[in-house]
Amino acid sequence: MRVLPTIVAALLTTAAAAQDKGPIAPDRLSADVKTLASAAFEGRAPGTPGEARTVDWLIGQLKSMGLEPGGPGGAWTQAVPLIHTRTGAGTIRAGDLPLVQGRDIYVGTDRAVDQVAIAAAPMVFVGYGVNAPERGWDDFKGVDLKGKVAVFLVNDPDFEAAAGDDSIGKFGGRRMTYYGRWTYKYEEAARRGAVGALIVHDTPGAGYGWSTVTAPAGENYDIVRADPASVMLLQGWLQGDAAARLFAASGLDLAKLRASARRSAFRPVTLKTRLSVDLPVTQEHIESRNVLAKITGTRHPGEVVMLGAHWDAYGLGKPDAQGRTMRPGANDDGLGVAGVLEMARAFKAAPQTDRSVVFALWTGEERGLLGSETYAVAPVYPAAKTVANLTLDILQTAGPSHDVLLVGAGQDSIEGMLGDAATAQGRVVTPEALPERGLFYRADHFSLAKRGVPTLLLMAISGAPDLVTGGRPAGQAWLDGYMKCYHQTCDAWDADWNLRGAADDVDLVYSVARRLADGRDWPTWSAGSEFKDVRDATAAARR
């Protein structure tokens, strides 16, 4: 007899359907994404006609809700000056070994130059390229990188650690730390005077495949820096098999070097093969925009709860197999933007909160968190008085789930508030299942976290949701299917999406934001978090 299991399953489904759905509407989420991912918006790349249409539409939506402009000087936007470069066809060689752009190597430049010209630059393998005195780790050992090309492994020294490796326990294990991110490695190479940096790609270590690496199609964006020379001339990735061939051309075994890099005794190795690059570059200075709106608090208007998502995607590129050139960014992050707009509608329809609520729609996330970083460098609302930043970046589209996935579990006290909100929905919080992807360091909340602001990030690619229909296997099937479209032309709006689960997740964030905006809590970083000391240093401003 299967009657009892069937009855139990039916009761669970009925309970899930009966839970308080909150003010977030799936049909409005879908309608907003359909607009943002439409051909008129051209994939929402910064500095394009698609940006202008996107920003105008967003401002129109916020105005129609009755929100106030939240940018500097009472404007709806904050200027984000960027340098936009695109490399053209040229030659890349490692000694006698030709490297084909997009197949064997993917490189670009953030420097405003007309050509990347590197003649036989020495290449130095620096292992994972970590300099962490607090963890007793230094991969560089004083080696001079000036004028050289640094070659890195992706992720942390303990990511693949085995018995006998003294990196075990010094980093995050399978959970990536900031030392494992490509952004850190480029920054460290630049600090040491390298002319270029290349990261050896492997899918487990990076958390994404080679197609994601090549998605920018030769384009680079960067903020305008006070010292242009602080930016390396060349940066990019080596495809894994091509990297093995390149090392073999120098008489080196990459697999053995990878193993040695997991130990603190590792020392950099200079390759016999030198890198030569000759690539034309087109460059332009563009001004992109963050969109900012607010609802001013009644009793503590100087204290801010911030809700954010990024409006940008990858724009137009080379045709895919079906001839499609637009990368619509429907889920990444059109759906996150739609979620922020829904929360803005909900806040405006409810009684005004004691604290101010700011709605931030960032540019340049896909190019390195550039919009949120520009804001964090010149904040409209001081970081010390920003209560929290709550960010949406990719939501699942497969229906209601028993759980919500949390990125960065253990970082701060907001996750307890998320747990309370999930319990009220009859759901649970599940820590991310793929911590090796380093997702905590890959979304716009991170620009605020570095300045000490406690954060919450929901990002559905952090694991398989436990779906009401089909459980975690069905959730895994959804995740596998979505990852094939991540940053690709097929990340498009679909009328068959079931956004009930996405709406539930947005409602959780809304509930946390409402609790913070109506309360006196100041969320705190957990002991051991890399951001705790930064926040603690501004404690006097919150007394």
Q: What is the pLDDT of residue 326?
A: 97
296 & 276 share domain? no
Nearest to 69 by CA among 58, 53, 80, 84: 58
The answer to the question of residue 465 being in a domain is: yes
Give me the pLDDT at residue 134, please: 84
**Domain-located, residue 9:** no
Side-chain-side CA neighbours of residue 306 (13 Å): 35
pLDDT at 3: 39
Q: Whole-model pTM? A: 0.85
7 domain residue, yes or no: no
Residue written as token pair 């936009």: 84
Under a CB-based contact definition with an 8 Å cutoff, are residues 466 and 433 in contact?
no
**Closest-CA residue to 375 (of 440, 445, 442, 305):** 445
Name, in order, each residue with C-beta under 8 angstroms of 400's C-beta and a sequence gap of 6 or more.
Answer: 16, 17, 467, 468, 469, 498, 500, 501, 504
Do 100 and 71 belong together in one domain?
no
User: Residue 13 has what pLDDT?
Assistant: 41
Of 230, 254, 283, the domain-final residue: 283
- pLDDT at site 173: 80
Residues 291-337 pLDDT 10s: 999 999 999 999 999 999 999 999 998 899 999 999 999 999 999 99
What domain range includes position 377?
19-82+285-542
Do 121 and 101 belong together in one domain? yes
Question: Which pairing describes strands 234-238 and 196-200: parallel, antiparallel, or unpaired?
Answer: parallel
Q: Is residue 5 part of a domain?
A: no
CATH number for the domain that contains residue 150? 3.50.30.30
Axis crossing angle, helix 500-517 with helix 414-424, rounded to the nearest 10: 130
pLDDT lower than 70: segments of the chain: 1-21
Q: Which of 283, 311, 344 is the last residue of a domain?
A: 283
Listed residue (420, 414, 473) closest to 449, CA to CA: 414
Does residue 272 share a domain with residue 124?
yes
Q: How many domains does the chain have?
A: 2
235 and 106 in a single domain? The answer is yes
Domain identity same for 274 and 396:
no
CATH number at residue 329: 3.40.630.10
Q: Tell whether 126 and 218 lie within a shared domain.
A: yes
Question: DSSP state, 45?
Answer: -
Task: State whether 319 and 188 are in the same domain.
Answer: no
Q: Tell me: do 200 and 147 sit in the same domain.
A: yes
Verify that 292 and 378 share a domain, yes or no. yes
Q: What is the pLDDT of residue 22?
A: 81
Domain co-membership, 389 together with 476: yes
The rounded distance, in Å, linking the Cα atoms of 426 and 127 is 46
